[in-house]
Amino acid sequence: MGLLDYFRNSRPDGTANVAKERLQILVAHDRAERHRPSYLPKLQREILEVIRKYVDVDMSAVSVNYEQEESHEVLEFNIILPDTVRHVV
């Protein structure tokens, strides 16, 4: 099952959608060389900078979750956008 299937399955048809601007970003890295330092923490900062070019994200509305296992690491952002988003561009 791919990630897109996961999203489809988690959104059953017929569910009333609350109109909410929300951005969810996930970066998953399978690492072959386990002892190399991770660049995901740096990536985290840069991805947020890219996002903020497009939407005026309040940093207090950004939740970041980073998990590192032996050969796998996952970086997850959950961003609640304001109802009336001021678009930067």
> Which parts of this chain interact with a second copy (CB under 8 A)?
1-4, 6-7, 10-11, 17, 19-33, 36, 39, 42-43, 46-47, 50-51, 53-55, 65, 67, 71-72, 74, 76, 83, 85, 87, 89
Which residue lies nearer to a second copy by CB, 29 or 62?
A: 29
Cα Rg, the chain, nearest whole Å: 16
Nearest distance from C-beta of residue 59 to a second copy, angstroms: 18
Which residue lies nearer to a second copy by CB, 24 or 60?
A: 24
**Which residues make Cβ contacts (< 8 Å) with residue 80, sequence separation at least 6?**
20, 21, 22, 61
Which two three-digit tokens encode residue 57?
């994200």
| Helix ranges, the chain (H) | 3-9, 40-54
Nearest distance from C-beta of residue 58 to a second copy, angstroms: 16
